[in-house]
Amino acid sequence: MSQTNTTTSYTGPTPASPEQVHAIIAELRRLYPDAACSLDFSNPLELLVATQLSAQCTDERVNVVTKQLFQKYRSVEDFASVSQEELEQDIRSTGFYRNKARNIRAACQRILSEFGGEVPQTMTDLLSLAGVARKTANVVLGNAFHIVEGFVVDTHVGRLSRRLGWTSNDDPVKVEQDLMRIIPQPDWLDLSHLLIFHGRAICDARKPLCEQCTLAPFCPSAFQVSKSKSNSNAKTLDN
101-148 pLDDT per residue, tens: 999 999 999 999 999 999 999 999 999 999 999 999 999 999 999 999
pTM assigned to the model: 0.90
24-33 pLDDT, tens digit per residue, is: 999 999 999 9
In this prediction, residue 172 carries a pLDDT of 96
Written in H, E and C, the secondary structure of 200-220 is HHCCCCCCCCHHHCCCHHHCC
**Catalytic residue selected from 59, 90, 154, 238:** 154
Measured CA distances, 13 to 97, 188, 195, 198, 212 (Å): 44, 21, 19, 20, 20
- 154 tagged catalytic: yes
Cα–Cα distance, 2 to 161 (Å, whole number):
11
- CATH number for the region 44-144 comes to 1.10.340.30
125 is catalytic: no
Tell me the chain's radius of gyration from C-alpha atoms. 19
Q: Name the 3-class secondary structure at 53.
A: helix
C-alpha atoms less than 13 angstroms from C-alpha of 66 in its C-beta half-sphere? 25
| CA pair distance 43, 31, nearest whole angstrom | 28
Q: Show me where the domains of the chain are located.
A: 44-144
pLDDT above 50: residue 227: no
Q: Among residues 59, 135, 178, 187, which one is catalytic?
A: 135
Average pLDDT over residues 153-174: 97
